[in-house]
Amino acid sequence: MNRLRGVVVVIAILAFPISGRAQEAVLAGAVTDTTGGVLPGVTVTAHHLATGNTFVAITDERGAFRLPVRVGGYEILADLQGFGTAKRGAVELLVGQTVMVNLQLAPAGLQESVTVTGEAPLLDTTSSVVSGNIDPRQMQELPIQGRSWQDLAMLAPGSQRNESGDSPTVRNRRDFQVNLDGQQTTSVLVTGGGFGTGAQQQPLYSQDSIAEFQFISSRFDATQGRSIGTQVNAVTKSGTNDPRGSFSGFFRDDKFKTRDFVTGTVLPYENQQLSGTFGGPIIRNRAHFFANYEWEREPNTTVYTTPYAAFNVQLPNVRKQKMAGARLDWQLNSQSRLMSRWNYGIEVQPNSGGGSSHPSATTENKRHNDEAFITLTQVLGPRALNELRGGFSSFYYYNYSVVDWPNHPMAASQGVTVGTPRITFSGFTVGPAANNPQRLGQNVWSIRDDYSYSFDARGRHDVKVGGEFLRLFGFTSNCRGCMGQYDASGAPPPANIQALLPVWNDPTTWNLDALSPLFRRYDVTVGTLQTYQHRNTYGAWVQDNWALTQRLTLNLGVRYDLAMGALANDIAVPPFLEAGRPNDKNNFGPRVGLAFTLTPRTVVRGGYGLYFGEIANTTTSRTQSWTQLTGATIENLPVRANFGSTPFDGPIPTFDQAKQSYCHVRNVPGCIRESLEQILDPKAKVMYSHQASAGFQRQVGDAMSIEGDYTYQGERGGFYSHLMNVTYNPATGANYPFSDVSRRAFPLFGRIGFERYARDGNQHALVLALTRRLANRWSGSATYTLAGYWDKEAQPLSGLEEVPFEVQPDLGNEYTLTEGDQRHRAVFSGILDAGFGFQVSGIYFYGSGMRRATSWGGDVRGIGGTQQGGRMVPAASCETAEARLGVNVLRGSDGSCIIPRTAFVGDPLHRVDLRLQRTFRFGRASVSPLIEMYNVLNHANFGSYTTTVNNTRYALPNVSSNVAYQPRMLQLGFRSTF
C-alpha cells in the first residue's frame, strides 16, 4: 500500500500543473466552405453555457474536428481568417454521446457571420452499442417513488429492471458495473447467486447529486469491462457561473395509502425526505463547486405471512438514510479542467425481512460508503489527449439477527450473542440465513489512464489506449452456520409447531427435544470468523473508432483483464483444494462493431464482443474462512430424545477439539465428520459472456428517433452453490442417499459445498425504443422488449470430478427457462409543460409475469440438502403436486416425479405513476409544490411469492417492502430553488 500511495502522489505532482479535462461526451463534425470544399485550420470553439468553460479544436486536413467535452449545453463558433464566423447554438450533449455538428463558412466579403439554429441530429453515426440516456430533465421531473436514481434505468432500451433498488439489474450475478464520473464504484463484496438479490449491497448516492446517466445494455466498447452484462455511466452535478441552490422535501404517510394487497389492511407507513444542494463559482468561468446533502426517515412495517397464526407478526421498521457529496471543477485555460469529487452514504434498516418463513429470520441491515476521486488530463496537441483518474472508495455492509441469544455457540470465543438455531423442515424454515451475522467491507485504491490519439490512415482513426489498477483490501466476519443447523427437511413441521416455539424471538423457550425424532443431523461451525483479503486487479485496452468513410465507422477493440488471487489461488483446504493454483490469465476480450449511415436519417449497426466478469470477494473470503473455521456434523443415529438440546451429547466442541475428533484424523467409533460449505471449485474460471447485436436507428422529424435491435447474451461460467460429497447410481442417474456414509465420495467427511462457476445461459431479445426530445413543450420515451432467457447448470460433481453419465433432470444439466425470465416488458414516460407554470409527468410500466424457482420443499432424494434435492416429489404426492402446479411434473428416467425448475410464473405487473406540479417564481427564486401518485390504478403488483409446493401458501403472494410493489400511494412535496 505504501508503494501504491507513493505512485499516486508522484503522478499527481507531475500532472497537477498540466491541463486537465474530463471526457464525458464528444462533439465532432466537419467545416466546409459554400462550395462544399473542406477547410483545414479552422478554430472551433465550444462554450459550455452553464459554466463559461471553453473547449477549442483545430480542423485537420479533411476539415474534421473532434472535441472531448463535458456534458451540457453548448454554443459553437467556427472561425478562419478570410471567412465569416459560423455560430451554432443550443447543442445538448449527454454522457457517452458523440454528437455530429457540421458547419459552413462563407467568404468574409459575403457574410461576416452566420448563425445556424435547430437541434443537433439525434442519430449516433459512430457507435454500435445498444444504450439509452437518462437526461437531466428526466432525472428531475419524472416521479420515482423512493427517489433512487437507478430506478430510472427502467426507461433505457434493454433494461430488465422491475423493482426499486441501488443496482441497475435484477439478477445481480456480477453482471453489471457502475461508473461514476468515469471511475468504477461497484461493490465487489457479494457474489449474488440468483434473481433479485443484492439490492442492499451497493453504495448510496442522492438523486440530487446525479446529473444524468447512460445505460448500456449490450456491447459496450473495450474501454469498459469487468461485467458480463450491462454498464452504467453516470455524471455528478457541478456548479455553474450562477450561484444556485435548492431545497426539497417529499412526504408519504399511510393516511394517503390504500390497503395492502396481501393483508387486506393499511400497513403503518411513513416516509420523509429532505434534500439540499448549493453550487456556484469560485472564479467565474474558471472554478466552480457543488455540494449536496439528503436525509431520509421511513417508518414501515415488516410482515410475516406463514401458515401459522402465531408466527404472523408485524414488526415496526424505521429505516434511516443520509447521503452527502461535494464536487470541485477548475478550468485552468481553454484546454484544461480538473475535477475532484467526494461522496458519503449511510443507511440503517432494522427488522428487515418478512414473507413466509419464521419471523426469527428478521435481521438488522446497515451499509455505508466513502469515496474520493480526482480526474486530471493533459492535452498533448491537436490530436492527442491523456486522461488520468485516481481515488479511493470504501464500502461496508452488515446484517445481524434481531434475536438475542446469550448462549450462542460462538458467544464465548467470538462474542456472537444474536441469532437462533436454524431448522429446515420440508416447506418451512426457522432461523436467519446460515451466514448471519455477517460484516463485509472493502477498501479500494484505483488509478486509471486513457491516452487518446487521432490520425488519418485510409480514413480517420480515433484510438484510445489505456490501463487501470485496483488494489482491494477486503474484510469479512461471517458466521457461515455458526448458530447451528438442524436438518429436518425429510418432514413437514409438526402440527403443534407453534406450541413448541412459543416465543419467536427467544430461543431459550423453544422445545427442541420434542423435535428430536424429526432431526436427521446437526451441523455447526466453530472457529475464528474474521478474515482479510488483498487483491490486485489490472485492466488494459485498445479501442479504435475507425471512420473508414463518411458513412461507415468500424468500432474495433480488445481488452485484457487480470485479477490476481481472485479465485483463492493461494489458499489450501485439503484434501479438496491445493494452494498455488494458477491465476486465470486468459481473459482477452475482442470487440468489433460497425455503424453505417444508410441515409442521412438512418443508421444500421451491429457487432460482437467477448466480455469477462469480475469475481466477487466472497469467493476468496468464504474459501479462506475454512482455514480457521471448521464445521462439525453429528448424525442423529440412533435417534436420541435429547438430540435437540444436546446434539453432541455434551458441550459443542471448540475448534481444536473438533479438529482432533474428526473421522479423517482419527477414524474411531464416535468420531465426528467435518463439513465445509462454500469452498471454491478448484477448476473455477472467470465467468464471461458472448454479446452480439444487430439493429438500426432512424430520426423522424427534428425531435424524435426510433430504434430497434436484436441482442444476444450468452453467459458462460455463471455462479451457483453445489454439494459434491455425493455419488450417483449409473443405472438410475440418481444419487445414492447421503445417509449411506459408505457411498459418499469422501466417506470420512460430512457435507462439502463447492462454489461453482459453471452455469451457462442464453438470452435472446428484441429491443425497440422511441425517444422524443423536448419540442412544443413536451418530451417522452417508450421502450418494448420481447425476450427469453434459458440456462442450465453443469453436470453435478461427485467428489472432484463431474459425473460421467446422464443424471436425473433435477440434479444437473437441465436446460430450461430460468428464474427471472420475463417475456414482455414495456415502459412509457412523458413530461408536459401545460402552461401557467403547471407541469404533468408520468411513467407507465408493464411487465409480464416472471418465472420463479420452484421446489417441493424438502430433500426427498436424500442428497444432503435442498440445493440439489429440493425438486423431487414423494411418489404418493405426485398427483397433488401436478394439481397445485397446474402443469405436468417432469418424469425422471427412473420414474421419479420432479417439479419443473421454474414452473411458477407470477402475475403481470402494471404501474402508472403521475406527478402534477405548479411553479411559482419570485425573481431568481422559485417554489414548486407537487403531488405525486404511485400505482394510480391500484393494480395488485407482487414482488414475492411462496414457491414451495408443499407449503399451504404455495402460489400466494407475500408482502413486499419494495416500493415498486406497493398499493396506491400519494406523496406530497415541494422543490424550491434560489
CA distance 558 to 189: 27
Question: Is 636's pLDDT higher than 60?
Answer: yes
- Per DSSP bridges, beta strands 314-330 and 338-352 are antiparallel
Question: Is 849's pLDDT higher than 70?
Answer: yes
Mean pLDDT is lowest, of 195-199, 425-429, 677-681, for 195-199
Q: What does 785-810 look like in DSSP terms, one character per residue?
A: EEEEEEEEPPPPEETTEE-SS---GG
Question: Three-state SS for 878?
Answer: helix
Q: What does 445-486 look like in DSSP terms, one character per residue?
A: EEEEEEEEEEEESSSEEEEEEEEEEEEEEEEEEE-SSTT-EE
pLDDT of the residue at 8: 42
CA distance 601 to 597: 8
pLDDT of the residue at 61: 83
Confidence band (pLDDT; 50, 70, 90) for 19?
very low
pLDDT of the residue at 677: 86
In Å, what is the CA distance from 264 to each residue of 267, 726, 881, 910, 959?
9, 46, 28, 19, 11
Task: Answer whether 631's CB lies under 8 Å from 525's CB.
Answer: yes
CA distance 791 to 529: 35
The amino acid present at 386, given as its one-letter code, is: N
CA distance 454 to 465: 11
The amino acid present at 658, given as its one-letter code, is: A
Question: Is 16's pLDDT higher than 50?
Answer: no
The predicted-structure confidence for 307-351, as pLDDT tens digits, reads as follows 999 999 999 999 999 999 999 999 877 677 899 999 999 999 999
The arithmetic mean of pLDDT across residues 262-283, rounded, is 95
- Per DSSP bridges, beta strands 909-918 and 897-898 are unpaired
The predicted-structure confidence for 803-847, as pLDDT tens digits, reads as follows 999 999 999 889 999 999 999 999 999 999 999 999 999 999 999
CA distance 307 to 732: 36
The amino acid present at 295, given as its one-letter code, is: W
pLDDT of the residue at 725: 96
Grid cell listed for 636: 442423529
Task: Answer whether 752's CB lies under 8 Å from 722's CB.
Answer: no
In Å, what is the CA distance from 147 to each residue of 186, 212, 348?
19, 14, 17
Question: Is 731's pLDDT higher than 80?
Answer: yes
The predicted-structure confidence for 594-616, as pLDDT tens digits, reads as follows 999 999 999 999 999 999 999 88
Question: Is 881's pLDDT higher than 70?
Answer: yes
The predicted-structure confidence for 424-449, as pLDDT tens digits, reads as follows 999 899 999 888 888 999 999 999 99
Question: Is 174's pLDDT higher than 90?
Answer: no
What radius of gyration, in Å, describes the C-alpha atoms of the chain?
30
Question: Is 788's pLDDT higher than 90?
Answer: yes
The predicted-structure confidence for 738-771, as pLDDT tens digits, reads as follows 999 999 999 999 999 999 999 999 999 999 999 9
Task: Answer whether 790's CB lies under 8 Å from 765's CB.
Answer: no
CA distance 950 to 953: 8
- In sequence order, what are the residues at sequence separation of 6 or more whose Cβ sits closer than 8 angstroms to the Cβ of residue 60? 40, 382, 383, 454, 456
- In sequence order, what are the residues at sequence separation of 6 or more whose Cβ sits closer than 8 angstroms to the Cβ of residue 777? 832, 833, 834, 835
Question: Three-state SS for 209?
Answer: helix
pLDDT of the residue at 118: 60
Q: How many CB atoms lie within 10 A of CB 532?
A: 11
The predicted-structure confidence for 204-235, as pLDDT tens digits, reads as follows 999 999 999 999 999 999 999 999 999 999 99
In Å, what is the CA distance from 933 to each residue of 208, 251, 806?
20, 12, 54
Question: Is 193's pLDDT higher than 60?
Answer: no
